[in-house]
Structure 1
Amino acid sequence: MRDKNKQRLLHNTLFLYILTFSGYFFSLVTVPYQTRILGPEFYGKVGFAVAMMTYFRLIIDFGFILSATADISKNREDKQEVARIYTAVMYAKGLLTAVSLVVLLGICYAVPMFRQDIFLYVLTFASVAVSAFLPDFLYRGLETMKRITIRTVAIQAFFVCMIFLFLKNPQHYYFVPLFTLIGNAVALFWVQMHVFRTLKIRFVPLEKGYLKHTIRKSSSFFFSRIAATVYQATNTFFLGLMYTPGNVKVGMYVASDRLVGTAKTAFSPIADSLYPYMVKNRDFKLLKKIMLVIMPPVIIGCIVLGIYAKPFMALFLGSAFYEAGSILRILLPIIAITPLVYMLGFPTLSPMGLAKHANLSTIVSAVVQIIGLSVLFLTDIFTVHTLCYITVISQSTVLFYRFIIVWKNRHIFTTKELVSDVLET
């Protein structure tokens, strides 16, 4: 039975990896083209819009990717309960999308800087909102990622090609969110058809209070994910407000942060697929093996990239982004610690009954980030580089917090072997 579960885990991890990373991969392969066509100024505008929409994406997701995944995994044999969870989550996302759109339009009409580019912000919001409705939580919980992966990746690849065909000058910068929106919309249509026709999951009536309970249950995960995004989205947002979205410095940071974010995403599917598996099987020995395989090449890769950061950025993004290498170099420690941060998060803490600490660790990190930003502003030493240093410190706080919690609660593991397996990593 354990071998069968491991087989399912491997299969699910592979397709979840392809699905999650494909979005970033297709985005990444267009980055060199975008940076050369748009330049730092217009590329910074698009990056600022994406950073701003990240907040709305978090609101629409509301942590369901974690809470609903766990619920689906626990109730996967009960089709009626799976349908109720699916219905409640999709209804909640619809409600949160409507509220978010009203807020966005209010901001755009109230702030002249946003009103000038309202078309860009609305398009970016639409692409993000449509993507949020992809029922990843359902497929992750059921551990059946193959069909959603094949459909989504094929459609994304086609519409990414549209960017190469139609993005020809800086004034076409709104094509980036436009084609992303079209690709996401078609992917959502095909996935929903699979849910209805193949998985036989339909929207069902909900008992009174079920929707409210679903939202409340996911609230702790929501606040955790908000906190985890403070550094990535807020950094870009702050830079845009400080220097204006079209400033070269914003474009340099966005380019560097995009590469760091893509690298981090390479590890996310492993942790995401382990999460439902670990909840059911508590296989901490497997967790240790995965860490031992991943960490050495990650550290070596970060060291090499740090040495050649500037020429790498110039080669990859264009000569105009040569100096962005200094920003990338500072942010590299974040990539190095990411596998441990992910593995010691929900995959480890949830089966230990300590999932709240995975959330609390990101909240503590967010507090450290906010305090750091405040110090930079009050002491008048705010620059792109000092911002990056504060970010590395705040992200390291997550790892330190989670390691301490695991160490303090090592007695929870059922055998001494399991204790050493996790703590020696």
Structure 2
Amino acid sequence: MNNKHKKRLLENTIFLYALTFSGYFFSLITVPYQTRILGPEFYGKVGFAVAMMTYFRLVIDFGFILSATADVAKNREDAQKVASIYTAVMYAKGLLTALSFVILLGICYAVPMLRQDMFLYLLTFASVAVSAFLPDFLYRGLETMKRITIRTLIIQAFFVLMIFLFLKTPQHYYFVPLFTLIGNAVALLFVQRHVSRQLKIKFVRLEKGYLWQTIQKSSPFFFSRISATIYQVTNTLFLGLMYSPGSAKVGMYVASDRLIGTAKTTFSPLADSLYPYMVKNRDFRLLKKIIWIIMPPVIIICIVLSIYANECMALFLGPAFYGAGSILRLLLPIVAITPLVYMLGFPTLSPMGLAKHANLSTVVSAVVQLVGLSILFLTGTFSVQTLCMMTVLSQFTVLVYRVFIVWKNRHIFSQKELLEDVPQV
């Protein structure tokens, strides 16, 4: 691996971290304020809406963040090919957005509980749909994250300011998706202008059948991503349907799950930036070194947080969320194994020619989660605590599966080492 590739990887990783953390960092700033103003009940309502819309976000994205990123990375020197990939993905997202909107309207009209808060769900859907059109796949594949990161940081700071200025009572809970929508819309306008004027990438006429081929190619990644998200989103939906979206139990779980999700995203940018790099360079030694550096401090931090979980929740989210510490404690093992789950996924299995197993592992995990939840319901043992335990079990299933596949095919690493002295072009 030459110095130019290393420098590009480092720079892309830094800006991808900044881009990802901008959303979660600014969100994290507002979460303590939101929980104190809204309380567990109204915060649970917003969390339920976000969980429900996550399914639609996955449908709109349809796995393009992985399939299209790899395609752009492989063809970044061919401007016409990149433009075709970009056009096909954006067209596909437009079709999927229209389909999702029709389905959402049908669900809201069919379920009285949702119909009462339809404005909240429509606002949340709009914010999620607009965000899905941000062409992250393009910037990740090109490994040029600097400009989009700076613009996005500025736009998301606007959201934080609006929340502090206007969210004053629990009845203003719909301001959360409203200001998210405004921030995402402005960010999308800036990004599209940059793509067109600076990157010189415009919409082009697609060959017959190319759009459908793009959707078909991404379908395995879609099923992988929706399987990986089932535990997190479905858990909130199950709890909301069991206790109602405005239940304090739902609010407690949503708050804990939000923190777990934020912690998991600290590892996502590293894995995402390594993914296109590993596809081209297959530097397994670097991957191994990163894992050994990350894992010890992650485990130590999780242990400390587990000991002081209740105090941390009360300090961070307010006294009303002190009891949520017991939920956080049960979910912390997920954070501890996340670096391994991410690194042994597409960054490792794709360059090994085993990407299908990264998808299959999440499908197996989703099956374990759904079967486990069914058993809990049938045996009358379903609760927030047993739900958390089943979630941890399903996530360990992903790790065990990927470790087994990597170990079974470890001879591929040896083949790579035999070629490590060959100069790269």
TM-score of the alignment, normalized to the shorter chain, above 0.5 = yes
Q: Report the CA distance between 1:416 and its aligned residue.
A: 8.3
Q: Which position in structure 1 is the counterpart of 2:100?
A: 100
Question: 2:160, 2:191 → 1: CA distance?
Answer: 19
Q: Which position in structure 1 is the counterpart of 2:176?
A: 176
Aligned-partner SS, 1:413? helix
Task: Say whether the 8 Å CA contact 1:26–1:160 is kept in structure 2.
Answer: yes
1:265 aligns with 2:278: no
C-alpha distance 352-121 of structure 1, shift in aligned 2 (>3 A) = same
Q: Which position in structure 1 is the counterpart of 2:46?
A: 46
Q: Report the CA distance between 1:159 and its aligned residue.
A: 1.9
Question: 1:23, 1:316 → 2: CA distance?
Answer: 18
Task: Say whether the 8 Å CA contact 1:160–1:180 is kept in structure 2.
Answer: no
Question: 2:194, 2:331 → 1: CA distance?
Answer: 40
1:190 aligns with 2:198: no
1:56 aligns with 2:18: no
Aligned-partner SS, 1:323? helix
Question: 1:201, 1:229 → 2: CA distance?
Answer: 32
Question: 1:416, 1:142 → 2: CA distance?
Answer: 25
Question: 1:408, 1:55 → 2: CA distance?
Answer: 34
Q: Report the CA distance between 1:16 and its aligned residue.
A: 0.4
Q: Which position in structure 1 is the counterpart of 2:423?
A: none
Matches within 5 A, 1:10-409: 10-409=10-409
Q: Report the CA distance between 1:417 and its aligned residue.
A: 5.7
Question: 1:260, 1:205 → 2: CA distance?
Answer: 43
Question: 2:75, 2:415 → 1: CA distance?
Answer: 28
Q: Report the CA distance between 1:188 and its aligned residue.
A: 0.3
Question: 1:12, 1:35 → 2: CA distance?
Answer: 34
Question: 1:417, 1:129 → 2: CA distance?
Answer: 44
TM-score by length of 2: 0.98
Question: 1:382, 1:242 → 2: CA distance?
Answer: 10
Q: Report the CA distance between 1:415 and its aligned residue.
A: 4.2
Q: CA RMSD in A?
A: 1.1
Q: Which runs of 5+ in 1 are unaligned?
A: 419-425
Question: 1:158, 1:50 → 2: CA distance?
Answer: 20
Q: Where in structure 1 do 4 or more consecutive aligned residues deviate above 4 Å?
A: 415-418
Question: 2:112, 2:139 → 1: CA distance?
Answer: 42
Q: Which position in structure 2 is the counterpart of 1:423?
A: none
The one-character-per-residue Cα deviations of 1:378-424 (angstroms, maximum 9, x if unpaired) are 00010000000000000000000000000001112244869xxxxxx
Aligned-partner SS, 2:245? coil
Question: 2:28, 2:12 → 1: CA distance?
Answer: 24
Report the residue type matching 1:199 in the other structure: L
Task: Say whether the 8 Å CA contact 1:227–1:366 is kept in structure 2.
Answer: yes
Q: Which position in structure 2 is the counterpart of 1:412?
A: 412
Question: 1:280, 1:415 → 2: CA distance?
Answer: 16
Question: 1:358, 1:207 → 2: CA distance?
Answer: 31
Q: Report the CA distance between 1:375 and its aligned residue.
A: 0.7
Question: 1:384, 1:182 → 2: CA distance?
Answer: 34
The one-character-per-residue Cα deviations of 1:209-244 (angstroms, maximum 9, x if unpaired) are 000000000000000001000100000000000000
Query: What is the total number of aligned residue pairs between the two structures?
Result: 419
Report the residue type matching 1:399 in the other structure: L
Question: 1:373, 1:8 → 2: CA distance?
Answer: 44
Report the residue type matching 2:411 in the other structure: H
Q: Which runs of 5+ in 2 are unaligned?
A: 419-425
Task: Say whether the 8 Å CA contact 1:87–1:203 is kept in structure 2.
Answer: yes
| Percent identity over paired residues | 82
The one-character-per-residue Cα deviations of 1:158-203 (angstroms, maximum 9, x if unpaired) are 2221001000000000000000000000000000000000000000
Q: Which position in structure 1 is the counterpart of 2:421?
A: none
Question: 1:159, 1:392 → 2: CA distance?
Answer: 33
Larger mean CA deviation between 117-126 and 24-33 belongs to: 24-33
